[in-house]
């Protein structure tokens, strides 16, 4: 697809999402998809109980439209490549597992759907499908800068850890009104531009679906939020990012492009590690992920979101610099 076509698709999807979101919110509310708040969470979050959730289901519409437009884009259509198949499976499994988690929370009327190990198993299965189905084609896309790190059997070890870790990093960042959508928007805009300039199949076009979703979602998720994206949205967004990183050969650059999400995930790992190693006596942060640490310090929610957005933009610019230098 041309850069003009991808830009037009992003614009149209954003407009359609803005029009369709009120109906989706109403449908989800009637179905009982409302947010339940963790007891151990910040006290300020208690007022958010009952907010409609699983708004990430809008991504199903976006992904389907992108697929239809992409495969009908050529005069004789496009064939489904092994990488495209791998991408669709990876995104679909993560999106559906997120929706299952949100649905179980609604059924149990508790803020615990799938258990932690169940989530990891499903995400590992999705990642395995991605790299097995993509196979040699995905490995052939590895950038020159990552060849040493991702060669031989190390490719599967490191790639699997990265895929599962980054999907979870997006999920962990979804903790404040507008936080994940605002911080991931510059990420997906950069990925969309890269996909337009250097086509990488379906994975290079899907970031446009994610960016359009973020734009529309922020309209309804800004303080005070009318809808949350839930695990349905956060896991789907993370999987789109991972798919783009490997299909485009920008694995190392993606560490910077998605740097803010890695910081969020690392804050949780550091907090848990120090807490357990100290015999449950010490903590590094007042609360993890790190955005809750700043809440505990007394920062207003909109202030945290605004500053994290700036940090995300800086990470993205650094990542773009790497992409333009190494290509």
The per-residue pLDDT for 72 is 84
Using CA atoms, how far residue 46 sits from 104, 220, 270, in Å, is 20, 19, 26
Residue 89 and residue 193: Cα distance in Å, rounded?
24
The per-residue pLDDT for 94 is 96
Q: 10-residue block means of pLDDT along the chain (327 residues)? A: 90 97 93 71 63 91 94 66 93 95 81 84 95 78 54 79 95 93 97 92 95 96 85 96 93 94 95 89 90 93 95 97 82
- Phi, psi of 311, rounded to the nearest 5 degrees: -60, -40
The per-residue pLDDT for 325 is 82
Torsion on CA atoms 241, 244, 249, 255, rounded to nearest 10: -10
**CB–CB of 274/283 below 8 Å?**
yes
- Phi, psi of 62, rounded to the nearest 5 degrees: -65, -45
The per-residue pLDDT for 166 is 96
Residue 13 and residue 232: Cα distance in Å, rounded?
18
Reference 195, options 92, 56, 87; nearest CA is 87
Tokens matching residue 211: 């960016």
The per-residue pLDDT for 39 is 56
DSSP code string of 79-136: ---HHHHHHHHHHHHHHHHHHHHHHHHHHHTSS--S-HHHHHHHHHHHHHHHHHHHHH
**Whole-number mean pLDDT of the chain?**
88
Q: Where are the domains of the chain?
A: 3-253
The per-residue pLDDT for 115 is 86
**CB–CB of 237/55 below 8 Å?**
no
The three-point CA angle 272-276-278 to 5° equals: 120
The per-residue pLDDT for 75 is 43
């Amino acid at each position: 697809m041309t850069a003009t076509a991808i830009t037009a698709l992003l614009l149209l999807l954003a407009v359609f999402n803005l029009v369709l979101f009120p109906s989706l919110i109403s449908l989800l509310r009637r179905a009982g998809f409302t947010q339940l708040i963790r007891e151990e969470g910040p006290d300020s979050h208690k007022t958010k109980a009952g907010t409609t959730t699983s708004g990430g289901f809008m991504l199903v519409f976006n992904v389907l439209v992108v697929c239809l437009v992409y495969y009908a884009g050529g005069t004789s259509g496009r064939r489904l490549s092994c990488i495209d198949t791998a991408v669709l499976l990876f995104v679909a499994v993560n999106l559906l597992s997120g929706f299952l988690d949100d649905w179980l929370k609604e059924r149990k009327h508790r803020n615990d759907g799938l258990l932690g190990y169940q989530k990891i198993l499903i995400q590992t299965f999705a990642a395995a499908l991605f790299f097995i189905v993509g196979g040699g084609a995905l490995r052939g896309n590895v950038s020159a800068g990552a060849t040493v790190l991702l060669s031989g059997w190390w490719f599967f070890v490191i790639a699997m850890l990265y895929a599962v870790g980054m999907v979870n990093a997006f999920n962990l960042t979804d903790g404040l009104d507008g936080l994940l959508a605002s911080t991931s928007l510059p990420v997906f805009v950069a990925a969309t531009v890269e996909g337009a300039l250097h086509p990488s199949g379906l994975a290079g076009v899907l970031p446009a679906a994610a960016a359009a979703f973020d734009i529309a979602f922020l309209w309804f998720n800004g303080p005070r939020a009318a809808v949350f994206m839930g695990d349905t949205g956060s896991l789907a967004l993370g999987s789109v990012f991972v798919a783009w990183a490997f299909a485009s050969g920008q694995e190392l650059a993606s560490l910077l492009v998605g740097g803010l999400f890695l910081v969020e995930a690392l804050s949780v790992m550091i907090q848990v590690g120090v807490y357990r190693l100290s015999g449950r006596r010490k903590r590094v942060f007042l609360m993890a992920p790190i955005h809750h640490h700043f809440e505990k310090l007394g920062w207003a929610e909109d202030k945290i979101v605004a500053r994290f957005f700036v940090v995300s933009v800086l990470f993205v610019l650094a990542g773009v610099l790497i992409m333009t230098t190494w290509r």
